[in-house]
Amino acid sequence: MTTSEFGRVLLSEKQIHDRVRELGKAITEDYQDDPPILVNVLKGGFVFLADLVRAINLPVEVDFMEISSYGDAMTSSGVVRILEDLSESVENRHVIIVEDIIDTGRTLSYLMENLETRHPKSIRICTLLDRRGRREVELDLDYVGFVVPDRFVVGYGLDLAQKHRNLPYIAIVEDEEVP
Ligand code: PRP
C-alpha cells in the first residue's frame, strides 16, 4: 500500500493548505502587539504546527508537551499524564494550544486547567479539526480549521496505529480498516 491510495479523501492537500493560511492570517492579526507562544500537543499536532507557524507573520515562539491519556486507545478518559513538559515558562505570556483534533474535549480541558496554574496572560485553542459530535466537555475553541463528521480520520499528523501521519491529506478510514 502506498500513501496515495489510502482511505477516502475528506480534506485535500489544497483545502488544508488554504485553511491553514487563513488561520495563520487570523492569528497574525490578533497578536500584533504581543506575539504568543504556540504550545503543540504531541504527537498528532506536529504537521499542523509546522505549516501554521509558516503562515503566521509574527515572531512567535514554539514549545511542546507530550501527554498520554489513561484509558483505552479509542476513547479519551481525560485523565492525562504529562510525559514531557514545556521547556519555557508561559507566565505572563499569551499561549495558543495547537491541536490536530478535538473529540471529547477532555484532554484540552485538563491541559487548560494545568496551564492556567502557570499564570499565562491568556490561553486560546487552535485546532485543525473539530469532531464536535463526540464532545463531552464544553470548550471555547478560538481557531478551528474544519468541523468533521464522527468518523475515523487519518493523515496530516493523525495516525492509524501510529502509521499514516505522513499523508499530505486527511482521509476517512472505514470501520473495518480500524484495528
Ligand atoms: C488526540 C488529539 C488530542 C486528543 C483529543 O491525541 O491530538 O490530544 O486525542 O481527544 P479528546 O478531545 O477526546 O480528549 P491522541 O490521543 O490520538 O494522541 P496522538 O496525538 O499522539 O496521536
Query: Distance, CA 158 to ligand 1 centroid (Å)?
Result: 9
* % of the chain with per-residue pLDDT over 70: 88
H/E stretch holding 174: none
Q: Is 33 a catalytic residue?
A: no
Ligand 1 atom nearest the C-alpha of 100 is: 7
Say what the pLDDT of residue 99 is: 96
The residue-averaged pLDDT of 121-146 equals: 96
107-132 pLDDT tens trace = 899 899 999 999 999 999 999 999 99
8 Å CB contact between 103 and 128 = no
8 Å CB contact between 126 and 139 = no
**Buried residues in 4-29 as b, exposed as e (16+ CB within 10 A):** eebbeebbeeeebeebbeebbeebee
Say what the pLDDT of residue 1 is: 45
Q: Is the pLDDT of residue 78 over 80?
A: no
For 163, the grid coordinates are 502509521
Residue bearing the bigger pLDDT, 178 or 85: 85
The residue-averaged pLDDT of 48-56 equals: 98
Q: Is 164 in the pocket of ligand 1 (CB under 6 A)?
A: no
Ligand 1 atom nearest the C-alpha of 102 is: 12
Among 101, 97, 86, which Cα is nearest to 157's?
A: 101
Query: Distance, CA 42 to ligand 1 centroid (Å)?
Result: 9
* % of the chain with per-residue pLDDT over 90: 76
- Strand 94-102 versus strand 122-130 pairing type: parallel
Q: Is 105 in the pocket of ligand 1 (CB under 6 A)?
A: yes
Rounded CA separation 31/89 (Å): 19
Q: Is the pLDDT of residue 142 over 50?
A: yes
Residue bearing the bigger pLDDT, 78 or 141: 141
Q: Is the pLDDT of residue 26 over 70?
A: yes
CB neighbours (10 Å) of residue 150? Answer: 10
Looking at the DSSP bridge assignments, the partners of residue 171 are 9, 154
Q: Is 101 in the pocket of ligand 1 (CB under 6 A)?
A: yes
Cis peptide before 163 (omega within 30 of 0): no
Looking at the DSSP bridge assignments, the partners of residue 61 are 37
Q: Which of 18, 103, 140, 159 is catalytic?
A: 103
Tell me the average pLDDT of the chain.
90
Chain centre to alpha carbon of residue 116: 19
Query: Distance, CA 73 to ligand 1 centroid (Å)?
Result: 10
